[in-house]
Amino acid sequence: ARASRSSRSPSDLSVSFEFFPPKTEAMEETLWRSIERLAPLAPDFVSVTYGAGGSTRERTHATVARILSETGLKPAAHLTCVGATKGEVDAVVDSYAEAGVRHIVALRGDPVEGIGTAYRAHPGGYDRAADLVEAIRSHHPEIEVSVSAYAERHPESPDWSTEIDNLKRKVDAGATRAITQFFFDNDLYSAFLDRVAAAGISIPIVPGIVPVLNFSQTAKFAQKAGASVPDWFAARFEGLEEDQATRQLVAAAVCAEQVLDLVDRGVSDFHFYTMNRADLVYAICHLLGMRPVKPAAPDAAAA
Ligand code: FAD
C-alpha cells in the first residue's frame, strides 16, 4: 500500500474545493481567509453552491464573481432547476457566461418542501439535471459542465439501473465530470465505479470528501442525503461530543485514512466539501504531497 502512495507524484493529483456563499460579513471573512489559505495549493477549480430552492442566487453569483476578479482560481458555479422557469434558469447561465464563468455544476436540486418529500418540477422549469446540462451545453458550448453522482444511489432512485441511466443521460447531454455525494466506505465507491464502467461511462467520477467537523451534524445530513455511516466510522467519534480538540484530531486522521486509501485504489482527483474551513483540508492536501505554489500569506495559520 505504501509503495503506491509514494510512487504517485503530487503532480498526478488534482483537487477541487467546494464553498458555500456566506450569509453574514463574519462568514464572508471566514470564507475569504479559507480561500486565501487554500488557493496556493492550485486547485483545479473551486465551486460555490446554490442554496436550496435557489435561495442564494445573488450570493452565489457575487461569490463566484469575486473569486474570478480577485484570485487566479477557476470558479465553478452550482445551479439547480428548483423553483424557476427554464427562462429564469437560462438567464442565470447567460449572466455567468457574460461574467466569464466557464464551469457550472448542474443539478436538479431538492424538493422545495424538503428532502424526503416528492420532487415536483416547476411547471415551466427543467425536470432534472440532464435537461439543465443539455440547455447549458446547447446555449453555451464554451461552458464546462459537471454533475452529481451517488456511490450509494440517490434516495429517490428505485434501483441501480435507474441511477446509472440517469448518470448516463447527463453524460450524453454533455457533462464531462461527475462529483459524488460524500461517502465513508470506500468499497461502496469502488463498487460504484465498476457499475459506471460497465455502463460504458468514461467521464471522471470524482469522490466528494467531507471532513467531519461535527459528527452529529454530519450524521444527520448523511441520513437525508442517503449516505450510510458505518458503525465502525461512528465509533471513532464516540464520546467526543464535548471534546472539540480531540474530535478535530480524529476527524483529520479519519479523513486522511479515507483519502490515502483512495489513492491506493488509483484515485487521482478529489473534491473537498470544505464547509468554508481550510485547516483540515489543507492538512489532507499536504498529506497527499501537495505544497503551496507560492508561500501562503503570513496570517494563513489563523484561517
Ligand atoms: P438528478 O441527477 O436529476 O436526479 C437525481 C436522482 O433522481 C437520479 O439518481 C434518478 O435516479 C432520480 N430521477 C430524477 N429524475 C428522474 C426521472 N424523471 N425518472 C426517474 N428517476 C429520476 N443541491 C443544491 O440545492 N445546491 C447545490 O449547490 C448542490 N450541490 C451539490 C453538489 C454535489 C456534488 C452533489 C452530489 C449534490 C449537490 N446538491 C446540491 C444536492 C442535489 O441537488 C440533490 O441531491 C438532488 O436531490 C438531486 O439533484 P441531482 O442533480 O443529483 O438530480
Grid cell, residue 101, equals 464563468
Average pLDDT of the chain, as a whole number: 93
ipTM higher than threshold 0.90:
yes
Specify the ligand 1 atom closest to the Cα of 130.
3
CB-based pocket (< 6 A), ligand 1:
49-50, 52, 78, 80, 105, 107-110, 127-129, 148, 154, 156-157, 162-163, 166, 179, 181, 208
DSSP state of 74: -
18 is an active site residue: yes
Q: At 294, is the pLDDT very low, low, confident or very high (cuts 50, 70, 90)?
A: confident
Calculate what percentage of the chain has a pLDDT beyond 90. 86
Residue range 30-39: mean pLDDT, rounded? 98
> Rg of the chain over CA atoms, in angstroms?
19
Q: What is the Å distance from ligand 1's center to 151 Cα?
A: 13
Contact call for residues 263 and 209 (beta carbons, < 8 A): no
Task: Please give the number of the atom of ligand 1 that sits closest to the Cα of 181.
Answer: 36
Rounded (to 5) percent helix, strand, coil in the chain: 50, 15, 40
Separation of alpha carbons 63 and 69, rounded Å:
10
Of residues 68 and 11, more confidently modeled: 68
Question: What is the arithmetic mean of pLDDT over 86-113?
Answer: 96
Which tens digits make up the pLDDT trace of 162-173? 999 999 999 999
* pLDDT value of position 118: 85
Which pLDDT score, from 0 to 100, does residue 115 have?
Answer: 77
The answer to whether residues 285 and 260 touch, using CB atoms and an 8 Å cutoff, is: no
Looking at the whole model, is its pTM more than 0.90? yes
Q: Please state, in angstroms and rounded to a whole number, the distance separating the CA atoms of residues 269 and 204.
A: 8
